[in-house]
Amino acid sequence: MTAKNLFRIFLLFSACAIQLLGPLACRGPGKSAAADYEGAADALLRKGLNERGAYALLEKITSVGHRLTGSPQAAEAVELTRRLMVEMGLDNVRLEPTTVGRWVRGEAECRLESPLSETQRLDALAVGGSEATPGGGIRAEVLEVLSFDELAAAGERAAGKIVFFNRPMDPAVLDTFGAYGAAADQRVRGAAEAARAGGAAALVRSLTTRLDDFPHTGLMEYDPDAARVPAACLSTRSADRLSEALKRDPAAKVFLRLDCRRLDPVVSHNVIGEISGTEKPEDIILLGGHLDSWDVGTGAHDDGAGCAHALEALRLLKGLGLRPKRTVRAVMFMDEENGGTGGRDYARAEARRGEKHLAAVESDRGGFRPLGFGIGRNEREFAPFRKYENLMKRVGLCWLRPGGGGVDIDPLAESGTLLIGLVPDSQRYFDYHHCGRDVLEAVHPRELELGAVAMALLAYILSQDF
């Protein structure tokens, strides 16, 4: 596009924007009209995009390295974000303990052995929480399946074999979280189902629509009443290579060695800081992300971005002198990835007595261009927010709609907290999720900042109006 016609287009768009934003509907229980927040919205956007503070915060958070639950790096990140909150001048900066499990990945070795071809290395990582392979590793034939039903139908053929779950994430689904949810059973339950079928181990195709050499790890569950067999994820290219090889030689074997270890639980922390409300400090608007990450890459999108969003939102409000009537609190949750203990312990902590959490906003879908907020569990909870949609468009969102929540804030629902989730565009998220590519450079400063601006504006509205 040349510059020539840009002035014209710019003016046209400006005119449209004014048309769209002009006559704001005024219904719902809010005490202020949406129009009252236009100044705040513009100031937040301007300051945010000028300073791009979220990226600077994320740079610091990811400088620690990965932040696996219970790791020394996670402890370092706790201290780092506590210090950042103090430096930002937040009120009541503190740590709240949460006892977390510890698991150490160790090395992974995986290769394909067939008399029909040379031995090939397969790019593999232990699935998070996996047992180690016994002794010097497992060498076994492979049963490839696309579903648990197919595994069940295989009957005795699974006995002693490495079960290879190779159903790809469906690329045709627009919402990649939906496609992920529909394929994640293989990683979460693969080892348990393989064990039930008599298998020796599980291999799982990585949950991404990208074709590359990065294995994507993530949580798994064992069944208490079944054997605990080791499980590893394969990069999508390695999964394709293995599948091809099995077509040529169904008796090809895989050698798998995993060195994982489980250590004793350890006390870790949620990190909390806030801007105390000027009128109702006991009423809380919570903004949260999770500080822990998987131990590959540096958890930049998952969920350094969410932590940066929450911290930056408070930095923007404070910097602009937007004093909330209710308390706006940032929480860096610990252990979202390995059991969600941080979120649960936060909700039931003694310190919650005397507090009322009106709303909790979670950002745990990456630092991409934000599209909207999912708000409340149903139309009734959502309805009061409809009138703010045009206001939110002013800072770059496209919509507000029902459907909020997240692992860290869900435990607050019991006490009546309104659950809200930030929804960035999801097209690129699973290129990075839980793999070595999830590093600072994968995050765009402007895209990240827009998430923080939207969260700051929403928190401000919630703190004044509800």
Could you say which residues in the range 304-343 bind a copy of itself, by CB under 8 A?
336-337, 340
**DSSP string covering 324-380, please?**
-SEEEEEEEES-TTTT-HHHHHHHH-GGGTT-EEEEEEE--S-SSPEEEEEESSSHH
Closer of 281 and 402 to a copy of itself (Cβ): 402
C-alpha closest to that of 64 among 315, 403, 372, 307: 307
Q: Backbone dihedral region of 439: left (phi > 0), alpha (psi from -120 to 50 degrees) or beta?
A: beta
Closer of 165 and 255 to a copy of itself (Cβ): 165
Closer of 6 and 251 to a copy of itself (Cβ): 6
Determine the interface stretch with a copy of itself among 153-161, 180-188, 196-204, 309-317 (rule: CB under 8 A). Answer: 180-188
Residues 345/349/355/361 CA torsion (nearest 10 deg): -10
Would you say 215 and 233 are in contact if contact means Cβ atoms under 8 Å apart? yes
Shortest approach of a copy of itself to residue 49 CB, angstroms? Answer: 5
**Contact flag: residue 45 with a copy of itself (CB under 8 A):** yes
Determine the interface stretch with a copy of itself among 15-23, 106-114, 139-147, 255-263 (rule: CB under 8 A). Answer: 15-23
Pick from 75, 141, 425, 440 the residue near a copy of itself by CB under 8 A.
Answer: 425
C-alpha closest to that of 456 among 425, 430, 422: 422
In sequence order, the β-bridge partners of residue 31 are none
Rounded Cα distance, 306 and 310, in Å: 6
Pick from 129, 304, 396, 436 the residue near a copy of itself by CB under 8 A.
Answer: 396
Would you say 301 and 235 are in contact if contact means Cβ atoms under 8 Å apart? no
Determine the interface stretch with a copy of itself among 93-101, 104-112, 267-275, 370-378 (rule: CB under 8 A). Answer: 370-378
Alpha carbon separation from 85 to 57, 105, 314, 453 (Å, rounded): 11, 31, 9, 18
Shortest approach of a copy of itself to residue 179 CB, angstroms? Answer: 9
Pick from 27, 29, 31, 50 the residue near a copy of itself by CB under 8 A.
Answer: 50
**Contact flag: residue 182 with a copy of itself (CB under 8 A):** yes
**Contact flag: residue 25 with a copy of itself (CB under 8 A):** no
**Contact flag: residue 168 with a copy of itself (CB under 8 A):** no
Closer of 12 and 25 to a copy of itself (Cβ): 12
Pick from 24, 104, 154, 188 the residue near a copy of itself by CB under 8 A.
Answer: 188
Query: What mask of x and - would describe binding to a copy of itself in positions 426 to 445, judged by CB under 8 A?
Result: -xx--x------------x-
| H/E segment holding residue 246 | helix 236-248
Q: Which residues ranging from 120 to 159 are in contact with a copy of itself (CB under 8 A)? A: none
Shortest approach of a copy of itself to residue 425 CB, angstroms? Answer: 5
Alpha carbon separation from 237 to 1, 207, 209, 216, 244 (Å, rounded): 37, 12, 11, 12, 11
Rounded Cα distance, 55 and 30, in Å: 33
| H/E segment holding residue 100 | strand 91-104
Rounded Cα distance, 53 and 308, in Å: 8
Shortest approach of a copy of itself to residue 296 CB, angstroms? Answer: 16
Shortest approach of a copy of itself to residue 201 CB, angstroms? Answer: 20
Shortest approach of a copy of itself to residue 429 CB, angstroms? Answer: 9
Closer of 131 and 364 to a copy of itself (Cβ): 364
Q: Which residues ranging from 198 to 217 are in contact with a copy of itself (CB under 8 A)? A: 209
Shortest approach of a copy of itself to residue 73 CB, angstroms? Answer: 19
Would you say 304 and 58 are in contact if contact means Cβ atoms under 8 Å apart? yes
Token look-up 């308390």 returns 327
Closer of 133 and 186 to a copy of itself (Cβ): 186
Closer of 57 and 85 to a copy of itself (Cβ): 57
Pick from 93, 191, 361, 371 the residue near a copy of itself by CB under 8 A.
Answer: 371
For the chain, what percentages of helix, strand and coil (3-state, to nearest 5) are there?
40, 25, 35
Shortest approach of a copy of itself to residue 241 CB, angstroms? Answer: 21
